[in-house]
Amino acid sequence: MNIFSILITQILYRPIFNILIIFLAISWGNLGIAIICLTLVIRGIMYKSSAAGNDMQTGMSNLQPKIEELQKKYENDPQKLSEETMKLFKSEGKAPLKGCLTMIIQIPIFICLYRVVRKFAGGEGIPQERLYSFFYSFGNTFTEISNVNSSFLGIDLLTAKNIPLTIIVAVLNYVQMKLSTIAQPKKKANNPAMPGMPDMSDMTGMMSIMMAVMMGVLVFSLNSAIGLYLVTTSLFSICQTSRKYRAILQAKRQGIFHKDQPTVINPK
């Protein structure tokens, strides 16, 4: 085993497995409840990072007029345009990678959880040496799949190709992406270097659909336990984003159901 594999095992795989074992013990071996609890803990830890990502998206929308001014000013100098755009991001504290941080962090967590589920699905169990010594007294029971209940709401979490779960993940992912762009203005892109560029809101809509389809295909091809993890994390994101943009959502709801009444927004 090389040094990279050792680091991944000790920093990510082993901690995630041990946290999962704790929740398996608390839930009497129910894998579904354990995965939901594990996901909520992970998303709770990353709450501030997720909020920063949402702020980044809103900030980028607010910067759009300044970016368009730079595009006009340096229409014939792409290098200068790139330099000035990066200076603008730096001065406003809007580093482009901030919005991707939560997704980047979740990738290794997703892979580690998949490794655990795959071992359970293969009937191999998890080597007991992966347990921390202080968890061994109650955790060693759940290193074997025979002591784990993999059924949750009628779904066998160790099997793949669950159609209802696939549809749920795709729909939630679409809603999540639409909510994340709710504060962005619908405005035609005005890039002199790319005349005729389509409305960015239309492009975002197509990307939302494509991403939802991709997530659906992923869930259909993997164990349902991974689908449950994605359902939980999507619901968490939807709740977090809805809370942030509750005033906008309230205004939209009033506009749909009470068109004849003035829109009143409660900022609290």
Q: Encode pLDDT of 224-264 as tens digits.
A: 999 999 999 999 988 888 887 777 777 766 666 665 655 44
pLDDT of 33 above 60: yes
Is 10 in contact with 16 (CB distance < 8 Å)? Answer: no
- Greater confidence (210 vs 74) lies with 210
**Lowest pLDDT segment from 30-34, 64-68, 245-249:** 64-68
First and final C-alpha spacing in the chain: 54
Total-model pTM: 0.73
pLDDT tens-digit profile of 130-149? 788 888 888 888 888 888 89
The pLDDT, as a whole number, for residue 250 is: 75
Signed CA dihedral, 152, 155, 160, 164: sign only = negative
Q: How confident is the model at residue 165 (pLDDT cuts 50, 70, 90)?
A: very high
Mean pLDDT taken over the chain:
77
The pLDDT, as a whole number, for residue 103 is: 67
Q: How confident is the model at residue 93 (pLDDT cuts 50, 70, 90)?
A: low
- Greater confidence (44 vs 260) lies with 44
Q: What is the DSSP letter of 12?
A: I
Burial of 8 (0-12, 13-18, 19+ CB in 10 A): middle
Query: What's the average model confidence in pLDDT over 140-169?
Result: 90
- Greater confidence (242 vs 54) lies with 242
pLDDT tens-digit profile of 197-233? 445 455 666 788 888 899 999 999 999 999 999 999 9
CA distances from 194 to 71, 72, 260 (A): 10, 11, 42
